[in-house]
Structure 1
Amino acid sequence: MDPSELGRAVEAGRATASELGLQVDDAFVVHNSDRVALHLAPCDVLARVAPLGHLADSEFEVEVARRLADADAPVAELEPRVEPRVHVRDAFAISLWTYYAPVGREIAPAAYAEVFLRHHAALRRLDLDAPHFTDRVAAALREVNDRERSSELSDRDRELVSDTLGGLGTAFSDDRAGDQLLHGEPHPGNLLNTRRGPLFVDLATCCRGPVEFDLAHAPEEVAAHYPGADHGLIHRCRALNWAMFSAWRWRRDDQMPDRSHWRVEGLNRVRAALDRCGRG
C-alpha cells in the first residue's frame, strides 16, 4: 500500500480491535504489500487489513482457517477473544489473528515435510469449495497477455512467461485424479517457526491440485522427505509458480516491496526451472 493508504489501513486495524475490547496502544507494520499485516500491542494480535476489493478473499481465508483449526491442522489461528469473521471499516476488510512471536532457528527440510504431511492430511478431511490452481494460472496468463496492464515487460520476456503459463498450465488441466485441497502458496515466508512448532499462514490461497504444486513452493530439499512425491512434476510446478510470480510482479499496479529486484529474479527463476525440467 502507498503511504497515504497505509496510514488509513493502520488506523482501521487499530480502531477495529479497540472497539472489540482489545487493548491497542501501538500498531507495528509486519508486512506491507497489496494488504498489510499489523502487530497490535499489548493485546498481541495480528490484524490483516486489505482493501475492500479483497473482501471475498478475506472471508474465504477466515472460513478456511476456522475449518482447519477444527481439523487440528498446523495453521495460525484466528484471535479467540473476538468473533471469527471479517470486519469492514473505512473501505478496508480486517481480520484478527493470534500473533506468534518469531523463533529464530531455521525449519529443517524434514520438519518442513512433516508439517506438509499433517497439513495435507487435514485438508483432505475438509469439504470445501475452492478453485483449481489452474484458475490462478489462467488469471496470471491474462495479466501477461494484457500489454496495457504489464506495459514494462519486454516482448522476449512476455513470450517466455506466456509460453510457460500456457504450455504447462494446459498440461495440468486434463488429469485431476490425484488432486486434493492445498495451501496454494506454502513458501518459507508463509511457514512460521513458532513455540508451538511450524504453522502455515496466508490461507486465502487455498486451492485444488496435486500435492506437488505445494511442494514446489518449498526449498528443493523438502521433497526428498515427502513420501511418494513425483519429482518431475515438482520441477514443472516450480516453473509454473515462478511464471505466475513474474506475471504478478510485472503488473503496473503491483506493490510488492523491492519489486524491481524480484522482477528480474523471477524471470531468471523461470528460465532455471524450465532448464531443470527439460523445457528450456
Structure 2
Amino acid sequence: MTTTGTEEAEELLRAACDQAGVDARGAEPIRLGENAIFRLPGGIVARIARPGQLHAATREVRVARWLADHDVPAVRALDDLRQPIEAHGRAVTFWHELPAHHHGTPAQVATALRRLHDLPVGTGQHPFSALEPFVRLDERITAATSLTDDDRAWLYQHLATLRERYDHLPAGLPRTVLHGDAWVGNVVATNDNQVVLLDLERASIGPPEWDLVSTAIKHTSFAWISEHEYRDFRHRYGHDVTTWDGFALLRDIRELRMTCYMAQHAAENPRGHREAELRVSCLRGRNGLRPWAWSPAS
C-alpha cells in the first residue's frame, strides 16, 4: 500500500488546483492515506486517488452526476469543472463539502439503499459497470506481510474457493444499482436529517443482496448492532437477506474483504496486527461460531 505523505499530497493538490483554477490556499488535510482528502476554501473538498485510478475516478464523478440527475442524495462533484484532473500521474477530483453530519443508523442505511435499489437501469445510458466482489483482494493479501506464510497461503486458497462458489451464486432479487460499500460510515446523516451516500468508488450493477449483507453481518457475525436495530433495518428495506440461500456466500466474501483490509494495513500499523491475526483465525475456524469478537476498523 502506498500512503501519501503530507508534503507529497500538498504538492499534488497545488498542481491539480492550478490546473482546475481552484484556490488551494489554506487547504486543510481531512485524511491522508491511500486516498488523500483536503478541505479547500469555498466549501470544496479535493480527493487525491491512489496511483493508477484515473479510470475509476472518472467513473466515480460520472456516478455522482448520474445520481444527482436522479435526485438521489449523494456527495456532489463540482459541476463547472471537467474532472478528474491528472497531476503527477494521480487523479484528483473536487466535491462540494457536506454540512455537519454523522454516521447513519442501520434504519437510515436501509432507507437510502431502498431508494438507490429502486432506480431504473434497464434502459438508457448509465455509468455503472458490473459488481466486482473480489477487486483488489489478491493485492491486499500480497501486501499483508505481517501475516505468517501459512495464513497468507490459506487466504489465497480461500479467495480461490470463494471465486469458484460465486460463479454459482443462487438466484435472488433482481439486479440493480448498488452502492458497493454500504456501511454506516458511507451512509451519513446531516444535522437536518438528510441521508447522503458517500464514497461512490464501488457503485455498480449487481445483486442488491451485496449491499444488504454489509449491515446484516454487523448483527449476525459481529454483534455490532442489536437484534432490534437489524429488525428495523430489514423492515425499512422490506427484505431479510439472511433468509436467502446465497447469504452465506456473500457473508463469507464480505468477511474476507474485511480481513484482507485489516491484514494489509497491519503491515504498516502494528496496532492492527493482533486484529488481523484474530480475523484470519476466525475465518479458519479456530475461534468457534459467530458472532466473533472483531473490533470495527477505525
Classify the TM-score, shorter chain: 0.7 to 0.9
Distance of aligned partners of 1:265 and 1:10 in 2 relative to their CA distance in 1, 3 Å threshold: farther
Once residues 288 and 201 of structure 2 are traced to their aligned partners in structure 1, the CA distance between those partners, rounded to angstroms, is 28
> 2:67 aligned with 1:68, yes or no?
yes
SS across alignment from 1:67: helix
Higher alpha-carbon deviation: 71-80 or 19-28: 19-28
Q: Indicate the residue corresponding to 1:247 in structure 2.
A: 260
Q: How much does 1:86 deviate?
A: 0.3
Q: Indicate the residue corresponding to 2:207 in structure 1.
A: 210
Q: AA paired with 1:92?
A: R
1:34-183 pair list within 5 angstroms: 34-41=34-41, 43-80=42-79, 82-104=80-102, 106-122=103-119, 124=121, 127-136=126-135, 139-141=136-138, 144=141, 149-158=143-152, 161-175=155-169, 178-183=174-179
Where structure 1 has 5 or more consecutive residues not aligned to the other structure, the ranges are: none
Q: Indicate the residue corresponding to 1:231 in structure 2.
A: 242
Q: Indicate the residue corresponding to 2:222 in structure 1.
A: none
Q: Sequence identity of aligned pairs in percent?
A: 20
Question: How many equivalent pairs are there?
Answer: 268
Using the size of structure 2 for normalisation, the TM-score is 0.74
User: What is the RMSD computed on CA atoms of the aligned residues?
Assistant: 3.4
Distance of aligned partners of 1:224 and 1:243 in 2 relative to their CA distance in 1, 3 Å threshold: farther
Distance of aligned partners of 1:180 and 1:16 in 2 relative to their CA distance in 1, 3 Å threshold: same
Q: How much does 1:159 deviate?
A: 5.4
More helix by share: 1
Once residues 269 and 205 of structure 2 are traced to their aligned partners in structure 1, the CA distance between those partners, rounded to angstroms, is 25
Distance of aligned partners of 1:258 and 1:32 in 2 relative to their CA distance in 1, 3 Å threshold: farther
Q: AA paired with 1:35?
A: N
Where structure 2 has 5 or more consecutive residues not aligned to the other structure, the ranges are: 220-229, 292-298
Distance of aligned partners of 1:92 and 1:173 in 2 relative to their CA distance in 1, 3 Å threshold: same
Using the size of structure 1 for normalisation, the TM-score is 0.78
Q: Give the one of 168, 183, 186 matched to 1:190.
A: 186
Distance of aligned partners of 1:234 and 1:175 in 2 relative to their CA distance in 1, 3 Å threshold: closer
1:259-270 pair list within 5 angstroms: 259-260=272-273, 263-264=276-277, 266-267=279-280, 270=283
8 Å contact kept, 2:35–2:50:
yes
Q: AA paired with 1:78?
A: A
Q: How much does 1:228 deviate?
A: 2.4
